[in-house]
C-alpha cells in the first residue's frame, strides 16, 4: 500500500484473486447438471464478492483510522459549566503565583521582625555584606540564612498549585 489514503490492490493480490477465480471456474466446468452449475457460479460469485468486500473494508479501515476528517462548522453555544474553586491550579502545567519574589520578600519582612535586631537593619537584611551589617558576623549569618530561606520559599511559590493566601499560611505559619 502507498502513503496516500486510498488502498491499492497490488499485482500479487490480483494474481491470487485470478488464481482462485480460475480454480472455481475449472471446478464449475466439471459440473454436469446445468441448474447445479448456475447455482454453483452464483454462490461462488457471491462468496468472491463478499471476500473482496471484506478485504476492501479492512484495508480502508487500517489506512483511514488515524486520519481525522475535515473540521465542521461551529455548533451552538452551550450552557456554562460549574465554577471551580478560585485560585486552585489543577489542570494547567504552568501554575504558580505571579510576582513570587516580591510577595515572599514582603511577607518575610512582616513575618521576620528579626531584621530590626540585625545591626544595619533593613540594609543588612536586603544585602548581607560586612558594610551593611556593621561588620557583625552574627547579623550577617542571620541575614544570609533568611536570604537562603526566602530563595527556597520563592522556588516553592513558583511551583505551587495553591493560591497565595493558602501558600502564605504554609510558608509563614502563625507564631503563637
CB 92 within 8 A of CB 40: no
Cα 36 from chain centre: 63
Judging by beta carbons within 10 Å of its beta carbon (0-12, 13-18, 19+), is residue 72 exposed, middle or buried? exposed
56-91 pLDDT tens trace: 899 888 888 888 888 889 888 888 887 766 655 555
pLDDT, residue 1, reads 41
Average pLDDT over residues 32-52: 89
Place of cell 536570604: 147
84-119 pLDDT tens trace: 666 555 555 556 677 788 888 888 777 766 555 566
Domain parsing of the chain, residue ranges: 11-64, 100-171
Comparing 58 with 138, which gets the higher pLDDT? 58
Amino acid at each position: 500500500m502507498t502513503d496516500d489514503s486510498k488502498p491499492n490492490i497490488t499485482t500479487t493480490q490480483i494474481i491470487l484473486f485470478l488464481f482462485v477465480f480460475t480454480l472455481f471456474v475449472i471446478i464449475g466446468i466439471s459440473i454436469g447438471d446445468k441448474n447445479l452449475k448456475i447455482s454453483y457460479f452464483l454462490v461462488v460469485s457471491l462468496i468472491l464478492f463478499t471476500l473482496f468486500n471484506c478485504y476492501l473494508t479492512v484495508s480502508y479501515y487500517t489506512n483511514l483510522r488515524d486520519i481525522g476528517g475535515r473540521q465542521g462548522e461551529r455548533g451552538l453555544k452551550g450552557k456554562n459549566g460549574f465554577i471551580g474553586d478560585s485560585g486552585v491550579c489543577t489542570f494547567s502545567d504552568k501554575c504558580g503565583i505571579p510576582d513570587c519574589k516580591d510577595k515572599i520578600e514582603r511577607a518575610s519582612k512582616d513575618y521576620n521582625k528579626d531584621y530590626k535586631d540585625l545591626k544595619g537593619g533593613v540594609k543588612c537584611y536586603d544585602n548581607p555584606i560586612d558594610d551593611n551589617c556593621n561588620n557583625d558576623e552574627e547579623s550577617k549569618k542571620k541575614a544570609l540564612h533568611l536570604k537562603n530561606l526566602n530563595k527556597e520559599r520563592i522556588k516553592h511559590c513558583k511551583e505551587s498549585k495553591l493560591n497565595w493566601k493558602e501558600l502564605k499560611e504554609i510558608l509563614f505559619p502563625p507564631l503563637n
